[in-house]
């Protein structure tokens, strides 16, 4: 992983903590949250305040996320909102933390100027020994305060001020006045500079979780379902109508279509579909070439085309399907019939514009793992796991490619791949419209095929 770290592709944008004052504040927050302190005098933290160096010291990568459910956080600066979230257990956690920091920017800036802010993403579930427990996660709310309790104290002072204003003869209540003066020394003038943090809660309808080998839960769609990365039977009974795993390709494809979650890359307006498909094809060639022992260090697109010709007979169906689609997009070739059974199918899709587009692209990246660029952008945990298994030459090629093609223009690359425009006109040759199954069949096996129903 050193190659990724050196190129800023892993642990990038972390916040360095090396000031004795900030280290002391961090330790006070650690004591308030987990009853421990660190001996480190310099370390890096992510958006939640998690430090990989301290994780190594404690031999616990979840020291701020006990049981991987209720994530705790430590804020030393509002600049943490630009940092990544390491060891993510839920796809929604980073977005929640970013929104919390953004919505309380001024208050947090003032609070962290004097102390660390410690808090927690709170829900009613403390452990997920069974997969069914994940479905008890309905709403996440945020609790936060400084280690000195400034927010709590300010709230108490505010109530006293209201009491002082409304109570008859309050000017003669020496005890109340003395308490207000004492609290004001800790909080400052809360009437002019409020230090209250917004009470925020977030619905947890659709999300990915790392628990149980990876599970996508879609409850906030017209046809709800859970999609497991591993075998669905290992999950036990789930409180949702339909459960699928990655072997149920046809069912997943129909789920995505019925809920109108995806669109073909080749039909998306405003992008160079041919260029995107060719790049995906290059990644497949790189996989084949590395398997055959080719040295991919410094490989260019021309090198990959040469390797593609050399290993033409070994190129898998993923490459063949995307090549046929590229011929349609660029050379007026026939519209290829690529069904969900075809290995290239999920490589040809991207999320439509909707609130859960990132989650859907994350799912698609796991269903098309040879597309290393999409895997890196959409699902870094899966990317790092895959990277660790690759031969060294492929690691070198992938790291060089991402540094050269993605790091220099992250926003532009994302826009080119996932930016949403009105779809193009339907091609002349289309997939036949699916015939609606009879009602009793739908009731028996579900709208997307023979998958397990509760």
In a domain, 440, yes or no: no
Q: In terms of pLDDT, which residue wins out, 155 or 68?
A: 68
In a domain, 110, yes or no: yes
In a domain, 428, yes or no: no
In a domain, 83, yes or no: yes
Banded pLDDT at 443 (limits 50, 70, 90) = very low
Lowest-confidence region among 174-178, 243-247, 272-276, 316-320: 174-178
pTM of this prediction exceeds 0.85:
no
* Structural domains in the chain (count): 2
Question: What are the contacts of 325-330 at 24+ separation with CB within 8 A?
Answer: 325/266, 325/277, 326/273, 326/274, 326/277, 326/278, 326/281, 328/266, 328/427, 329/266, 329/273, 329/274, 329/277, 330/274
Cα(132)–Cα(454) distance, integer angstroms? 12
Tell me which of 104, 125, 144 is where a domain ends: 144
139 shares a domain with 9: yes
Banded pLDDT at 444 (limits 50, 70, 90) = very low
From residue 90, give the alpha-carbon distance in Å to each of 68, 108, 121, 246, 359. 9, 24, 11, 19, 11
316-336: burial string, b at 16+ Cβ within 10 Å, e else? eebbbbbbbbbbbbeeeeebb
411 shares a domain with 279: yes
**pLDDT at position 172:** 59
**pLDDT at position 187:** 61
Q: What is the pLDDT of residues 390-408, one digit of tens each?
A: 999 899 999 999 998 888 7
137 shares a domain with 278: no
Q: Which residue has the tokens 């779809």?
A: 423
Give residues with Cβ within 8 angstroms of 270, minimum separation 6. Answer: 419, 421
400 shares a domain with 275: yes
Domain of residue 372, residue span: 261-418
Which backbone phi and psi does 398 adopt, to 5 degrees? -65, -45
In a domain, 364, yes or no: yes
**pLDDT at position 422:** 38
Task: Tell me: pLDDT of 182 over 80.
Answer: no
On the CB side of 437, how many CA atoms lie within 13 Å of its CA? 13
Q: Are 338 and 325 in contact (CB under 8 A)?
A: yes
Q: What is the pLDDT of residues 148-175, one digit of tens each?
A: 787 777 666 556 666 656 767 666 566 6
In a domain, 427, yes or no: no
**pLDDT at position 192:** 47
Banded pLDDT at 114 (limits 50, 70, 90) = confident
In a domain, 294, yes or no: yes
In a domain, 198, yes or no: no
Q: Which residue has the tokens 């769609």?
A: 221
**pLDDT at position 33:** 95
Task: Tell me: pLDDT of 351 over 70.
Answer: yes
Average pLDDT over residues 121-135: 89
On the CB side of 131, how many CA atoms lie within 13 Å of its CA? 25
Question: Mean pLDDT, the chain, as a whole number?
Answer: 85
Q: Are 143 and 104 in contact (CB under 8 A)?
A: no
């Amino acid at each position: 992983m050193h190659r990724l770290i050196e190129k800023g592709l892993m642990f990038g944008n972390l916040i360095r903590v090396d000031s004795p004052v900030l280290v002391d504040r961090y330790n006070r927050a650690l004591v308030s949250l987990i009853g421990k302190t660190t001996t480190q005098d310099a370390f890096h933290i992510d958006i939640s305040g998690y430090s990989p160096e301290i994780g190594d010291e404690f031999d616990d990568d979840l020291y701020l996320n006990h049981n991987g459910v209720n994530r705790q956080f430590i804020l030393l600066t509002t600049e943490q909102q630009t940092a990544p979230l390491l060891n993510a257990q839920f796809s929604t956690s980073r977005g929640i933390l970013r929104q919390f920091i953004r919505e309380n920017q001024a208050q947090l800036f003032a609070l962290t100027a004097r102390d660390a802010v410690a808090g927690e993403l709170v829900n009613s579930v403390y452990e997920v020994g069974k997969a069914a427990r994940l479905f008890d996660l309905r709403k996440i709310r945020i609790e936060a305060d400084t280690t000195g309790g400034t927010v709590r104290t300010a709230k108490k002072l505010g109530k006293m001020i209201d009491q002082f204003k409304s109570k008859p003869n309050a000017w003669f209540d020496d005890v109340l006045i003395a308490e207000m003066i004492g609290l004001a020394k800790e909080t400052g003038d809360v009437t002019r500079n409020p230090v209250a943090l917004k009470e925020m809660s977030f619905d947890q309808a659709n999300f990915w979780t790392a628990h149980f080998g990876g599970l996508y839960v879609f409850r906030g769609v017209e046809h709800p379902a859970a999609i497991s990365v591993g075998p669905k039977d290992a999950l036990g009974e789930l409180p949702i109508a339909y459960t699928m795993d990655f072997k149920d390709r046809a069912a997943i494809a129909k789920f995505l279509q019925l809920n109108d979650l995806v669109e073909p890359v080749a039909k998306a307006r405003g992008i160079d579909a041919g260029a995107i498909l060719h790049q995906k094809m290059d990644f497949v060639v790189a996989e084949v070439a590395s398997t055959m022992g080719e040295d991919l260090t410094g490989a260019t697109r021309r090198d990959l085309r040469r390797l593609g010709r050399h290993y033409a007979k070994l190129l898998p169906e993923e490459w063949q399907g995307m090549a046929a689609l590229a011929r349609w997009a660029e050379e007026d070739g026939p519209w290829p019939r690529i069904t969900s059974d075809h290995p290239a199918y999920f490589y040809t899709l991207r999320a439509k514009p909707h609130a859960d587009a990132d989650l859907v692209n994350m799912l698609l990246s796991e269903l098309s793992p040879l597309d290393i660029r999409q895997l890196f952008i959409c699902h870094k945990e899966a990317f790092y796991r895959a990277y660790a298994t690759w031969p060294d030459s492929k690691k070198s090629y992938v790291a060089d490619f991402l540094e050269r093609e993605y790091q220099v223009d992250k926003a532009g690359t994302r826009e080119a791949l996932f930016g949403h425009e009105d779809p193009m006109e339907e091609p002349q040759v289309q997939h036949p419209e699916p015939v609606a199954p009879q009602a009793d069949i739908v009731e028996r096996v579900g709208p997307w095929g023979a998958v397990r129903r509760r």
